[in-house]
Amino acid sequence: MLNILFVCHGNICRSTMAESILAHRAKKEGLSVAVDSAATHTDEIGNPPHPGTVAKLRAEGIPLVPHRARLLKKSDGARFDHIVGMDGENLRYMRRILGEEYAPKLSLLLDYTENPRSVADPWYTGDFEATYRDLTYGIDAFLRYLKDRGEL
């Protein structure tokens, strides 16, 4: 089983939505994948997903994974095969928290696409639709990458 961790600033918007989308796809497509998510900062630790995340997932018919925001920790480096951030700031903090020994496991989601950029952050924009589009685009590309490498 492949273990994937999505990471963003607070773990209530982007990474939680990504976790729910991939968990749903994995179940639907029979993929041998375990998915989790975490935060790089303590702002939202223990909080449930943002209401905008919940509403967008519900509108798309995607079940929300049981979730409370948690902080990325050093031990996640050993536990996960891929640790995928949403933007450059996330990646800097991921490296700081996990250390360089886990750097080969770290990536940004939209770097797997033909249009690398940050995943839209709805915390600032309120645009959960744009975030959903970025995440589905990135997850599609990430899954192709994993299949091409023989990891799925």
Clarify whether 14 is annotated catalytic: yes
**What CATH number should be reported for the domain holding residue 88?**
3.40.50.2300
Q: Does residue 71 lie in a domain region? A: no
Which of 8, 36, 87, 134 does the annotation list as catalytic?
8
Q: What per-residue confidence (pLDDT) applies to 103? A: 97
Q: Provide the mean pLDDT of the chain.
A: 97
Rg (CA), the chain: 14
Q: What per-residue confidence (pLDDT) applies to 143? A: 98
- Do 141 and 147 form a contact (C-beta atoms < 8 A)? no
Q: What per-residue confidence (pLDDT) applies to 71? A: 98
Instruction: Encode pLDDT of 93-106 as tens digits.
Output: 999 999 999 999 99
Q: Does residue 143 lie in a domain region? A: yes
Q: What per-residue confidence (pLDDT) applies to 1? A: 96
Which residue range(s) make up the domain with 28?
2-63+81-148
Q: What per-residue confidence (pLDDT) applies to 148? A: 97
Which of 36, 76, 121, 134 does the annotation list as catalytic?
121
Q: Does residue 119 lie in a domain region? A: yes
State the pTM of this model. Answer: 0.98
Clarify whether 121 is annotated catalytic: yes
Q: What per-residue confidence (pLDDT) applies to 117? A: 97
Buried b (16+ CB within 10 A) or exposed e, 16-51: bbbbbbbbbbbeeeebebebbbbbbbeebeeeebbe
Q: Does residue 131 lie in a domain region? A: yes
Please state, in angstroms and rounded to a whole number, the distance separating the CA atoms of residues 81 and 127: 30
- Tally of domains in the chain: 1
Q: What per-residue confidence (pLDDT) applies to 69? A: 98
Clarify whether 92 is annotated catalytic: no
Which of 14, 76, 87, 134 does the annotation list as catalytic?
14
* Dihedral sign, Cα of residue 62, residue 65, residue 68, residue 69: negative
